[in-house]
Amino acid sequence: MEAPASPVLSPSQLETLAAIGEELTAEAGEILYRVGDETYPLIAIIEGEAAIQGPAGNEIVRHGASGFLGEMNLLNGQTVYLTAVATQPMRYIAVPREKLRPLLNEGGTLPDLLLATFMQRREALQTVDGIGVQVIGPRSSEDTRRIVAFAGRGRLPYQWHDPAHGDDPEIAALVEGLEPEELPLVRLPGGTDLRNPTNGELSRALGVGLELKPREEVDLLVIGGGPAGLGAAVYGASEGLDTLVVEGSMLGGQAGTSRRIENYLGFPGGISGSELTSRAVTQARKFKARTATPYRATALEPGEERHLVRLEEGNEILARSVVIATGADYRRLDIADLADYEGISVFFAAGPMEGERCAAQRVGIVGGGNSAAQAAIWLAKGGALVTLIHRRKDLGETMSQYLIDDLETWNVVIRDQSEIAELHGTDGELEAVTLKDGERMPLNYLFLFLGADPCTDWLGDTVARDEKGFILTGPEVGATGIQETSVPGVFAAGDVRAGSIKRCAIAVGEGAAAVRYVHEWAAGAA
């Protein structure tokens, strides 16, 4: 990996950090923090130099005077994936995490610089071999693929080792004697091993997310951590409601995986989905909203004063009001062996790791919406030979014109009125696809952007839904508020709501507006 250039702090920015941190010194060779550390601070260098090393001791980058050390785990609580060692005598400022977070909430050039750098470094780490979580399990294992997909969605640096398709005797020895149900073996930074953990067990072992008590009581429960859910959390918490967000996967939702959102108000140069949602999470926490992942809701039991929501791991939450912002799940191609390729050469989002793999490779993007176009353009910019495959005759029916223009600029080949019938490859490595017209097209990687189905099956008949499963709201179900469902005190926002416009900015607005209806309902019920 070529490490991104490290920004330099100005004298005034160093002074700001010095005011909330502690000045310390280190001798050459001294360890500042190491892999697995859960509490390391932000380190701003006044004098000297430090090297950042991977778990095997390989040097990744060096930071000198006025540089700083740290990445996203300073904000999300994850254990550190790297080791930092002084290469020259150092004088530096150490800013504890609990003092760093309030600074980042204030806004301004220093917080913006730190946040942007943290996210850039996290993306860069995802392309470095040997860093992060090690997942050891066969490609044929559904649980192995589940863990790999979870790590990818959560932008967790990880390495996947298939003991049946490698020549590393140490890797094979780690799983020797384990039963199939004990796989995958997941090795965490610092050396802890987990056998076939749930997504929640892995997340909490890494220090990600809040661990809920068996029973919680809150004013506002937001189910779903995408743009709509985060919008509701920010406005609910900022207006004094005890707010809890539960998310079944990773905070950010589908928007968090978008390479570039070009039409979001206020960002004329565009903004990545991960940056936008990371900022939203930081903002929600600023107002004391709590976020808990991955916790999946399984049932809603309405009550007169409080509603009860049951979670997959057995937790119960009592809430005066509920905002359902569960979004939608990715649709898959109706191909029998699709699962054999998922996570290996077939993906549902284009992140840094996938971008690294796809350079100078033949790549197919399936879909006709904006997300498909954004992924196609980003991969093409990285050197991939991209073909966009969609079943409609006119892309303009489902795609913004500026993206259609960009597809042409970046030489993305368009195959309209086309659908994939078969995948061809070995051990999950894609070699070609056959279209429904019989044409065989060589492809090394495939990305699916086929839209999504609402995540509402868990509701059963508790809340009125339309024939596609989207939640009905407003006068149609006898509710006063536009976003209120058929259950008083329960609201819907974003893609999960029937009739919503599937755009990130609209979802944020609906999440914020839902809080208004929460207040109106509470005032009427009082």
Ranges of each domain in the chain: 11-125, 133-205, 215-328+454-525, 338-450
More confident of the two residues 370 and 38: 370
* Domain 338-450, classified CATH 3.20.20.140, yes or no: no
User: What's the confidence (pLDDT) of residue 154?
Assistant: 75
User: What's the confidence (pLDDT) of residue 75?
Assistant: 80
CA separation for the pair 180, 174 (Å, rounded): 13
pTM of the model: 0.71
- Are the C-beta atoms of residues 90 and 26 closer than 8 Å to each other? yes
Q: Report residue 169's pLDDT band, with 50, 70 and 90 as the boundaries.
A: confident
Handedness of CA 18, 20, 24, 30 (dihedral sign): negative
User: What's the confidence (pLDDT) of residue 20?
Assistant: 96
User: What's the confidence (pLDDT) of residue 525?
Assistant: 65
Q: Of 373, 344, 356, 361, whose CA–CA distance to 148 is shortest?
A: 344
Asked whether residue 3 carries a pLDDT value surpassing 50, the answer given is no
318 phi, psi to nearest 5 deg: -100, 125
- Mean pLDDT of the region 147-175: 83
Share of the chain above pLDDT 90, in %: 57
Neighbours of 288 (CB within 10 A): 12
Q: Of 104, 487, 59, whose CA–CA distance to 278 is shortest?
A: 104
Q: Report residue 296's pLDDT band, with 50, 70 and 90 as the boundaries.
A: very high
CA separation for the pair 255, 428 (Å, rounded): 27
Matching fold, domains 11-125 and 215-328+454-525: no
- Top CATH class of 133-205 equals alpha beta
CA separation for the pair 186, 195 (Å, rounded): 6
CA separation for the pair 229, 161 (Å, rounded): 35
CA separation for the pair 289, 230 (Å, rounded): 10
- Mean pLDDT of the region 467-483: 93
More confident of the two residues 64 and 329: 64
DSSP, res 49: -
CATH-assigned architecture of domain 215-328+454-525: 3-Layer(bba) Sandwich (3.50)
Share of the chain above pLDDT 70, in %: 97
* The pair of three-digit structure tokens given for residue 177, joined into one six-digit string: 């004697």
* Domain 11-125, classified CATH 1.25.40.10, yes or no: no
User: What's the confidence (pLDDT) of residue 2?
Assistant: 40
User: What's the confidence (pLDDT) of residue 5?
Assistant: 52
Q: Per mean pLDDT, which range of 134-148, 152-166, 463-477 is the poorest?
A: 152-166
- Are the C-beta atoms of residues 135 and 151 closer than 8 Å to each other? yes
Q: Report residue 259's pLDDT band, with 50, 70 and 90 as the boundaries.
A: low
Average pLDDT in the chain? 89
- Mean pLDDT of the region 263-289: 83
Name, in order, each residue with C-beta under 8 angstroms of 489's C-beta and a sequence gap of 6 or more. Answer: 302, 307, 320, 321, 322, 518, 521, 522, 525
